Structure 1
């Protein structure tokens, strides 16, 4: 699949999981350096917000928006994943007052499993996944233009419907 970054085409590797398929289980580390497995959230719907670089404007807006929504939506676990280091993520969260679960995919584990890794940039493509209580993917949206915000309303509606 190809996406664009400010109009320039870049290729992402891997295959995005199919809707209705079991979500690939990956293990990433959070800001406390604890290992978090996506399977740890079995029984709870999960909205995964994927951003290329937390320190950029659109990624910052996306993460802050879902952090705000996480405080208002009961019964859904919100997670943001980026390629940033733990230190970069921690510094950004402290500066922005964000307290949602942030995971770092510094080696591309998540990106490859979910078909979002852009080798030439060493970054993830922008995307959103909703995983239902049974661990199946009920929504996925890969932004065709990395520099544009995703459709928050649709993603939130799908996450709420998965409760």
Structure 2
């Protein structure tokens, strides 16, 4: 379990992020067509997991926009924006914002948040995900992780992308 904060108040996660150098836990997430996608769906590519609580918040929206801006310049890399939002809402957000270089995926019907240790377990935010970045290499090994210590803050984009 990790401890982060929301507006200075402590929150706890269901576990810890995967360890750098370890094999990334497999996952099943739901895309905008309500189809399941897995880690194997993106085999042979580097994967940037931009994990956010909800795209319906300013910080999550900002990080998604920033990763979309940078994603088109990344070779052999996919940027997956993962949240507890329903797939319909994720697609609507990306369409409205004109975001074409990130792939929104939902934790709907998934154990992803527990498997990656990012499920918030207490307060009124229980069930949402903490804000985190996990970068997975073409060999499916974890290259970088960041659990943002304050839920309302953006991640460190430059350090994360430098890990690629």
Deviation at 1:108, TM superposition (A): 5.3
Uncovered stretches (5+) of structure 1, i.e. residues with no partner: none
**TM-score normalised by the chain length of structure 2:** 0.92
Q: Indicate the residue corresponding to 1:76 in structure 2.
A: 77
Task: Identify the residue that residue 154 of structure 2 maps to in structure 1.
Answer: 149
Residue aligned with 1:84, SS: coil
Number of aligned residue pairs: give it: 159
Change (3 A) 1:108 1:126: farther
Instruction: Name which of structure 1's ranges 107-116 and 53-62 shifts more when overlaid on structure 2.
Output: 107-116
TM-score by length of 1: 0.93
Matched position secondary structure for 2:163 = helix
- Structure 2 residue runs of 5 or longer lacking an equivalent are none
Contact 1:108/1:117 (8 A) holds in 2 = no
Distance 1:14 1:2 in 2: 10
Name the structure where helix makes up a greater proportion of residues.
Answer: 1
1:123 aligned to 119, 122, 128, which one?
128
Residues 43 and 133 in structure 1, CA contact (< 8 A), matched pair in contact too: yes
Structure 1 residue matching 2:72: 3-state secondary structure: helix
CA distance in 2, matches of 1:25, 1:7: 33
Runs of 4+ in structure 1 over 3 Å off: none
Q: Distance in 1 between matches of 2:72 and 2:35?
A: 22
C-alpha separation in 1, matches of 2:69 and 2:34: 23
CA distance in 2, matches of 1:97, 1:119: 33
SS in 1 for 2:90: helix
> Mapping of 1:6-155 within 5 angstroms?
6-99=7-100, 100-107=102-109, 109-120=111-122, 121=125, 122-155=127-160
